[in-house]
Amino acid sequence: MEESITDKTGKDTLQIISEANGFNNWMFQTILPFTKGKILEIGSGLGNISNFFLQTEREIMLTDLRKEYCELLEVQFNSKINLLGIDQVDLVHPEFDYVYKEYLGKFDTVFSLNVIEHIENDHLAIGNCKKLLNKNGHLIILVPSYQKLYNKFDKELGHYRRYTLENLSELFLENNFEILHKQYFNVMGIVGWYFSGSILKNKSIPSSQMKLYEKLVPAWKMLDKIVKNRVGLSSIVVGRK
């Protein structure tokens, strides 16, 4: 991953999702119980989830691979008193330990939502997340589910792969994490992703589709409860160092 990579599709997608306040809040509320202490977000993007943390009293540091996003985050959130900082971070930098030495072992929680699938060496990415945690710190990872759902959306967004709870958990175990929690998230999203990306062959999420989905978030949340998070468009694993 390099800063020079074009990210128009990614930015457009983040912009569309930024308008889905109910959906973003649902994701935030899902991971919130597993966060503690000083928090680091890997891949803050446009701040879609960061915004919710900064409305609480939680201390949080925001990061992104791209300088452009870091600058946008500065403009949006720099006045927040619980903001620990904003920095450009490459999770698989070849000199990670040296470049980010001031952050090693500093955080109680590290979370990364829809980022690891963009990284070819996901094992290294999880290992470097671990280095940022202090003893007993929590790592929360959310990624897209099921390789069979890989389509034009994934390709345009630069995804190397999609996951299951089993192979995502294996990444945690390979890095000597204790698994605290794992679940699928957003079962109804599977229908929209498959229909729009695999059948209609769209290259990005249509804004109209996201707006419709947003209106029905309470129903989708209930559906997740009905299926007991045993299936979903995203996989979430929480581990302890």
Residues in the chain: 241
**Given pLDDT bands bounded at 50, 70 and 90, which one contains residue 196?**
confident
Q: How far apart are CA 35 and CA 210, in angstroms?
A: 27
Q: How far apart are CA 31 and CA 61, in angstroms?
A: 16
User: Is the pLDDT reported for residue 5 higher than 50?
Assistant: no
Q: How far apart are CA 140 and CA 133, in angstroms?
A: 11
205 compared with 58, residue with greater pLDDT = 58
pLDDT tens readout for residues 134-181: 999 999 999 999 999 999 888 888 899 999 999 999 999 999 999 999
What are the helix (H) ranges across the chain?
Answer: 8-18, 21-31, 50-54, 67-77, 96-99, 122-132, 152-157, 165-174, 189-193, 207-215, 217-226
**Given pLDDT bands bounded at 50, 70 and 90, which one contains residue 12?**
low
Residue 212's pLDDT is 83
Residue 199's pLDDT is 78
The pTM assigned to this predicted structure is 0.92
pLDDT tens readout for residues 15-58: 666 666 899 999 999 999 999 999 999 999 999 999 999 999 99
Ranges of each domain in the chain: 8-240
- Distance of CA 108 to CAs 14, 58, 92, 133, 232, Å? 27, 11, 20, 6, 28
Query: Which class is domain 8-240?
Result: alpha beta
Amino acid type, 227: V
User: Is the pLDDT reported for residue 13 higher than 80?
Assistant: no
pLDDT tens readout for residues 68-87: 999 999 999 999 999 999 99
Residue 156's pLDDT is 86
